[in-house]
Structure 1
């Protein structure tokens, strides 16, 4: 697909996508103030990453998520794609408070399984208009599938 002609400044729109995703990241970060302690107290599988990995990985993923949304927007993306994108951001936002602050690892597991499905749908919808937008979400999907396995293991072990 070709990029659409818009009267909106594309760099301003990119800033909007970055801001939207940053809100998700900041709210998650605020909800994870005790994450390091909670994570350390949990029985974990041997393949669980150290807490220091999460910040850098999520920083890269959040930028990619924002750029993916912007790339999709540049192709005059359909409402269904944006709806899936937004629902995915909501499920992403909910996981951290459920898992770390709510002590609800099972509810967090249900949330992340839904997130997995929504991200797959988003990739499929984005791919119809922008292969780049879809490709930018693939590392995110890989990471949340890994996080789903980790969440599952923690539920089983605890």
Structure 2
């Protein structure tokens, strides 16, 4: 798995920000976020808005790509750059979904907030290492 982090791994050896959450927080947060991402996509799909779902799919691809760039590629700088694009894709998806169904747009706001926080964490890793 791309995000697998174990003792002695590259990630464990990195200097992290003092506000970096413990490792157990990440799977909990992502499971909740993926549920809201899926529900938002389903609400838009149910309305037949396929064009908006292209943005939804694109942000999912970038979401997955970050894990590979960061954890497999050990490329924190590139991962940070990729995450900035991810943030723009999510923000665009929020805006498009909001116009179609405000519930779907609102469901993506915690995801946008988490990725904003993740940009800060990734930026701290770049600065500290």
TM-score category of the 2 structures, normalised to the smaller one: over 0.9
Root-mean-square deviation over aligned CA pairs: 1.2
Q: Do the aligned partners of 2:5 and 2:12 also contact (CA within 8 Å) in 1? A: no
Hey, what does 1:90 align to over in structure 2?
Answer: 61
* TM-score normalised by the chain length of structure 1: 0.77
Deviations 1:18-56 (A, max 9, x none): xxxxxxxxxxxx112246633321111101111010011
Unaligned runs of 5+ in 2: none
Note the 1:87-126 alignment, pairs <5 A: 87-126=58-97
Task: Give the corresponding residue for 1:17.
Answer: none
2:102 to 131, 135, 146: 131
5+ unaligned residues in a row in structure 1: which ranges?
Answer: 1-29
**1:46 and 2:18 equivalent?**
yes
- Length-normalised TM-score, structure 2: 0.94
1:148 & 1:56 partners in 2: Cα distance? 18
Number of equivalent positions: 128
* 2:9 paired with 1:57: no
CA contact (8 A) 1:68 1:137 kept: yes
Runs of 4+ in 1 over 4 A off after TM superposition: none
**2-structure distance, mates of 1:53, 1:117:** 24
- 1:65-80 equivalences under 5 Å are 65-79=37-51
Q: Distance in 2 between matches of 1:153 and 1:34?
A: 18
